Amino acid sequence: MGFKAGKQVYNIWQVGVVSLIWSLWNHRNDIIFNARAPSRHAVLIQLKVFLTEAANNFDLGPMNNSILDLLILRALSIPGKAKRPLTYIYITWQLPLLPTGGAAFEAELFALIIAIESAHKTGWQQVWFEADSTFTVSLLSSRSLSVPWRFKARWIQALSYAATFSYRISHIYRERNRVADCLASHVKDEGYWFHDVADIRQLVMEDLYLPFFTRVVD
């Protein structure tokens, strides 16, 4: 194999090679002596049965704790047996008192996902997104999948939605985004807000009369 596989994947690979040869030999004999029609599907089914039986009845060892090993085993419908770590590192985490930069980025990413989903649900064909995070802008511009894992499935779906309409995304300084700037000012003064901020209502109403639609992401 072209990579350093774990013991479980390596042994499954060996079982697969031997089982494939055996399945092809049996199928060849059926064709010759039993007038059976050639069937690639039948060979693959028998091969999968052999692999499943080997995984369930024999100790094939652990896999490498890697994405590649996991994907190979999942493709074969074989549960992975994780390798025990050599050492353990004990860590503690404490909830920060105030929002961090990482939390702000995730909020901007989540807002962008909601904006894309809303545009798709509404059926808009031309959409202009604005964000004050250059990294968020680059994610959509490059259709990158480098997002936190808990957002990945929804982000991939959002990208598929975005492919169905014409859009552009641009960076905007927060001061130019009046609604976001107003909300950020309240957070700075109050710490958190869990209520409707009356000051933004007029700003939202004024945005409704712009000659083009701008989906604000912040």
Q: Would you call 124 helix, strand, or coil by DSSP?
A: coil
CB 90 within 8 A of CB 54: no
Question: Residue type for 170, please?
Answer: S
Question: Do residues 57 and 158 share a domain?
Answer: no
Task: Judge whether 92 lies within some domain.
Answer: no
Pairing type for strands 166-171 and 215-217 reads unpaired
**Average pLDDT of 38-61?**
86
| Mean pLDDT, the chain, integer | 78
CA dihedral 109, 112, 118, 119 (to 10 degrees): -150
26: left (phi over 0), alpha (psi -120 to 50) or beta: alpha
Judge if 114 and 204 occupy the same domain.
yes
Examine the pLDDT at 175 and tell me if it is beyond 90. no
Parent domain of 47:
7-75
Contacts of 109 (CB under 8 A, 6+ apart): 136, 139, 147, 148, 151, 155
126-131 and 166-171: which strand pairing? Answer: parallel
State if pTM tops 0.95: no
pLDDT score at 103: 61
Q: 140 pairs with which residues across the strands?
A: none
49-53, 88-92, 177-181: range with lowest mean pLDDT: 177-181
Q: How far is it, in rounded angstroms, from Cα 81 to Cα 8? A: 7
**Is 126 domain-assigned?**
yes
Percent of the chain clearing pLDDT 90 (strictly above): 10
In this structure, the answer to whether residues 31 and 129 fall within a common structural domain is no
Q: Is residue 83 part of a domain?
A: no
Q: Are 85 and 192 in contact (CB under 8 A)?
A: no
Number of C-beta neighbours around residue 159 at 10 A: 16
pLDDT: is 41 or 88 the higher one? 41
Same domain, 122 and 193: yes
**64-88: average pLDDT:** 81
Query: Does residue 87 sit within a domain?
Result: no
pLDDT value of position 95: 55
